[in-house]
Amino acid sequence: MTRIDRPFRPRRRRFRLRSSRTVAIGSALVIALTGCSGDGSAPESGAGGKRKSAKAPVWRTAPRSIAALGDSITVGFDACTVLSDCPQVSWATGTDPKVDSLARRLVKHPSTHSWNLARTGALMSDLPDQVTAAADRRPELVTVLIGANDACRRDVRTMTPTDAFRTDFARSMKYLRRALPHTQVYVAAVPDLLRLWSEGRKNPLGKQVWKLGICGSMLRDPDDLTQAAHDRRAKVRDRVMAYNTALAEVCGKDPLCRFDKAVFDYRFTGRQLSTWDWFHPGTGGQKELAELAFRTITRPGRST
């Protein structure tokens, strides 16, 4: 909360001001000092002329423009054709009516007022650059879905450390808030990669595709049920949960940020996965992500 300076009270002088011009200058100085808070906004007055603290910003459920940040999930990778982005089915900015993206639901002119700035393969360390690109568009809502690639590494030893993940996200939010003080931010949780393994491994073709090196930390040797394999997968899931805790805590400090844990909790099945890699969301998965985000963004009240 911004501290409000005490009113300036000029000392009484024993002599008279010598001209009306001097009176005007002195009055203007008093008004300037007593009429503004530390951030330059006029404070509210209550009974007896006492100032009231500024109200916390209220979440707006109908943003008029959207910038989507994140990784391959948000650009619809492998949702339409193999090894290709398919932004038209993106949960955030897609144009396909089967998905009914956020942009289609919320933005009156999505073709000119929504931007997909996500990049396939992006890590949390790439988010600051995406935020910079978003700031140039000045959207009313920014969506963030990123972090799966930080956990989906060759092995558990190369996963992004949680502290580094938190630092990059906090830095991104700090810059975004400085550049766009009134923009709302929707942050989706990193999906549950352990559930992805348990559902995707039911498909024999999917397991063959995983052998090409997709998310080795979690999906390597999908039929290995030994204790060592169990422990490896548990470490990946624990890291994802730590990422989500970091996202929730950093987002929770911003009155115009909403974190959506439902993306992690959602009990998706193989029907929501890409039929090309059984890892990324297919069209059905993109539709579910759009629905989850829409519920959170359109919930009335404060951001929390």
The answer to whether residue 94 is domain-embedded is yes
Nearest to 284 by CA among 293, 272, 292: 272
Q: Does residue 131 fall inside a structural domain?
A: yes
181 contacts 257 by C-beta, under 8 angstroms: no
Give the pLDDT score at 58.
86
Q: Based on the structure, what is the number of domains in the chain?
A: 1
As a three-state string, the secondary structure of 186-247 is EEECCCCHHHHHHHHCCCHHHHHHHCCCCCHHHHCCCCCCCHHHHHHHHHHHHHHHHHHHHH
Q: Is residue 56 part of a domain?
A: no
283 part of a folded domain: yes
Is residue 260 domain-resident? yes
Name the nearest CA neighbour of 217 among 241, 201, 244, 239: 239
Tokens of 79: 């949702």
Beta strands in 9-140 (DSSP E): 44-45, 51-52, 66-70, 114-116
- Indicate whether 298 pLDDT > 50: yes
Which amino acid is located at 182 in the chain?
Answer: H
Q: Which residues pair with 66 in a beta bridge?
A: 114, 141
Split at pLDDT 50, 70, 90, the class of 57 is: confident
Residue 13 lies in a domain: no
Query: 69 is in which domain, residue-wise?
Result: 64-296
Is 206 a residue whose pLDDT tops 60? yes
Look up the CATH number of the domain holding residue 164. Answer: 3.40.50.1110
Band the pLDDT of 47: cuts 50, 70, 90: very low
Q: What is the pTM of this model?
A: 0.81
Domain membership flag for residue 164? yes
Name the more confident of 44 and 169. Answer: 169
Q: What is the pLDDT of residues 143-172, one digit of tens each?
A: 999 999 999 999 999 999 999 999 999 999
Under a CB-based contact definition with an 8 Å cutoff, are residues 186 and 173 in contact? no
**Beta carbons of 98 and 301 less than 8 angstroms apart:** no
| Lowest mean pLDDT segment, chosen from 16-25, 108-117, 209-218, 276-285 | 16-25
Mean pLDDT of 168-179: 97
Q: Is 35 inside any structural domain? A: no
pLDDT tens string 75-94: 999 999 999 999 999 999 99
Assign 54 a pLDDT band (cuts: 50, 70, 90).
low
